[in-house]
Amino acid sequence: MRHATTGTRIPPLAGLLMAMLVSGCAEPGPTVEEARAFVDDAEARLLAVWIDAERAAWVQSNFITDDTTAIAARAQTVVLGATMELASAAARFDGVAVAEETRRKLLLLKTSMELAAPADPALQAELAGITTSMESTYGTGVYCPGNGEDCLDLAQMERLFAESRDTDELLDLWTGWRTISPPMRSPYARFAELANAGARDLGFTDLGELWRAGYDMPPDAFTAELERLWSQVRPLYESLHCHVRAKLADEYGSAVVPPDEPIPAHLLGNMWSQTWANIYDIVGPARSDPGYDLTRLLESNRVDPLEMVRYGERFFSSLGFDPLPATFWERSLFVQPVDRDVVCHASAWDLDFESDVRIKMCIGVNAEDFVTIHHELGHNYYQRAYQHQSPLHRTSANDGFHEGVGDTIALSITPEYLVEVGLLRRVPPADRDLGLLLRLALDKVAFLPFGLMVDQWRWKVFSGEIAPVAFNQGWWDLRIEYQGIRAPVPRSEADFDPGAKYHIPANTPYTRYFLAHILQFQFHRALCEVAGVEGPLHRCSIFGSLEAGERLNAMLEMGASRPWPDALEVVTGQREMDATAMLDYFAPLQVWLDEQNAGRSCGW
């Protein structure tokens, strides 16, 4: 911390230091060599504690008990302690003219964590205890309707939620799932307090600023960057919202879905209203059959969860990537166990930061999970590609890249691809494209404002703009502002609706998914060009293109060794994130939506 001096009186100690400097006997500052050695040691030490913590977290999420949660918390405490110590010590080299690579690593030391903690070991342990136990609370959450005997877990509730068209049942499920989170409210407030104190010790204003510092630009510039990207895609979202609201009003009546107002959150086919493809049947055009339904195709071809993962692996193999290691198949979790609690929220892991890659998922045989498998495998192939980088560079160019790779591959699950791999008999005619585009937009475009608002909420919580007494109100204000979606029943501060979304208790930053939704279309457009596929983007599959695979791999293997614009340039030739690829992709849909919305009053 730098303090302003008042007056010109030289305090005795400073006077002594000056005298030492003048006489040349001052302790010399640290050298470039020392800085490099410090970074090398730090990386070795961090790698060791990261691996321990990953193993503990893996066991915790695959076998949730009080004991595994405590063990994971202990390992997390060690990571917090080591990171805070090293990040603080790194400041010693602030004035040293180190090489660019060392400078970058000194910064990455601070931003490599999604969490910061005060220096006091007791507070570090408290913070790690809160985060691990919130995740366990979420993972074991159930809702027991009626007589309280037949409890539903999240996976069961999500399935019912996707299919039900009964507003009473939907409302019951919607409010039911949100009974798991009020106990997280006060731990969350304490978590924010402790993490903010840690972030301030590192020189950030709060944890939100630490998160925003991870994008190779000043945190404020990143905020502006998000605003720029959102303004590119907002008109498309508003068109989709307008059409969906009108169709929901046709289905449920305008007393349930009033015009000009935000859409009630329980009618969109997803527990968090973050993707809407499950209500395609309600909002699709007349004679809208997009030609096939991937869920039905998986069922009729008797594809089981393991085989779904094999489809994913074969896709990456077709691009020239090595097959997944035997340990992936032995150690991953693919189906929900019946005899114990697990965190079912899908995730990808790299236990040894080299090749012990795994996924953990409760796979259902349906289109959504088929896409999620590709999403998770994208993480694993990225992790394997950068394993030769030094530890601090073993991550993606920015976190949006990590989330965008598998999704990019999933954009290549086109009708042509499904025919090629034998899941679909023939390619539907081009006049079905509108249905396909609308179905995809219900996932990708509908997601955008949700992808933004989750961290808008957290950033305001961390900065103090949203105080604990207004946690829930602040959440719904942003839901209305960004998404045009409102709570279906009055909510109060006895509720803690943010906690019913996995990434809040798990403390996973969420802006990464917004970025990924923009980036994946940019990657897709560029890789389709590399693969030499002509025609509309929504009909392009890069399946089987070694050229596209090589280009993608060149970016993946860089890890975080360079600022992200360098990595982006490798695949796309562009140095800026840019939503025009997404707009290009959906251009025919935008025309159609404009026709549908003519005469409707849009907005909320």
Residue 371 found at the interface with ligand X8Z (CB under 6 A): no
Q: Three-class SS string for 360-377?
A: ECCCCCCHHHHHHHHHHH
| From candidates 132, 347, 383, 398, binder to ligand X8Z by CB under 6 A | 347
Instruction: Specify the residue, 125 or 515, whose C-beta has the smaller distance to Zn ion.
Output: 515
Number of residues this chain uses to bind ligand X8Z (CB under 6 A): 6
Annotated catalytic residue: which of 379, 402, 517, 538? 379
Annotated catalytic residue: which of 503, 547, 557, 587? 503
CB of 520 to Zn ion, least distance (A): 12
Q: Are the C-beta atoms of 224 and 213 separated by less than 8 Å?
A: no
Q: N- to C-terminal Cα distance for the chain?
A: 46
Residue 315 found at the interface with ligand X8Z (CB under 6 A): no
Interacting residues with Zn ion (CB under 5 A): 403
CB of 509 to ligand X8Z, least distance (A): 11
Choosing among Zn ion, ligand X8Z, none, which partner's interface includes residue 278 (Cβ < 5 to 8 Å by kind)?
A: none
Residue 177 found at the interface with ligand X8Z (CB under 6 A): no
Measured distance CA(142)–CA(364) in Å, rounded: 19
Q: Are the C-beta atoms of 410 and 201 separated by less than 8 Å?
A: no
345 noted as active-site residue: yes
Residue 346 found at the interface with ligand X8Z (CB under 6 A): yes
| From candidates 513, 564, 585, 604, binder to ligand X8Z by CB under 6 A | 513
Instruction: Specify the residue, 369 or 403, whose C-beta has the smaller distance to Zn ion.
Output: 403
Structure tokens at 371: 């896409």
DSSP state of 333: B
Per CB under 6 A, which of residues 225..254 are in contact with ligand X8Z? Answer: none
Residue 83 found at the interface with ligand X8Z (CB under 6 A): no
Instruction: Specify the residue, 206 or 403, whose C-beta has the smaller distance to Zn ion.
Output: 403
Contact flags string 529-568 toward ligand X8Z, x per CB under 6 A: ----------------------------------------
Instruction: Specify the residue, 77 or 408, whose C-beta has the smaller distance to Zn ion.
Output: 408
CB of 370 to ligand X8Z, least distance (A): 13
Going by C-beta distance under 8 Å and a sequence separation of 6 or more, which residues neighbour residue 556? Answer: 381, 382, 385, 386, 405
Annotated catalytic residue: which of 73, 90, 265, 346? 346
Residue 326, Cβ density class (10 Å: 0-12 exposed, 13-18 middle, ≥19 buried): exposed
Q: Three-class SS string for 20-35?
A: HHHHCCCCCCCCHHHH
For 409-477, the DSSP string reads: HHTT--HHHHHHTTSSSSPPPGGGHHHHHHHHHHHHHHHHHHHHHHHHHHHHHHHTSS-GGGHHHHHHH
Measured distance CA(76)–CA(90) in Å, rounded: 21
Residue 286, Cβ density class (10 Å: 0-12 exposed, 13-18 middle, ≥19 buried): exposed
Instruction: Specify the residue, 135 or 433, whose C-beta has the smaller distance to Zn ion.
Output: 135
375 noted as active-site residue: yes
Q: Are the C-beta atoms of 345 and 363 separated by less than 8 Å?
A: no
Name the strand (E) or helix (H) holding 405: helix 399-410
503 noted as active-site residue: yes
Annotated catalytic residue: which of 42, 73, 376, 526? 376
Instruction: Specify the residue, 105 or 178, whose C-beta has the smaller distance to ligand X8Z.
Output: 178
Measured distance CA(519)–CA(267) in Å, rounded: 29
Active site members: 345-346, 375-376, 379, 403, 503, 513
Question: What residues line the site for ligand X8Z (CB under 6 A)?
Answer: 274, 346-347, 372, 375, 513
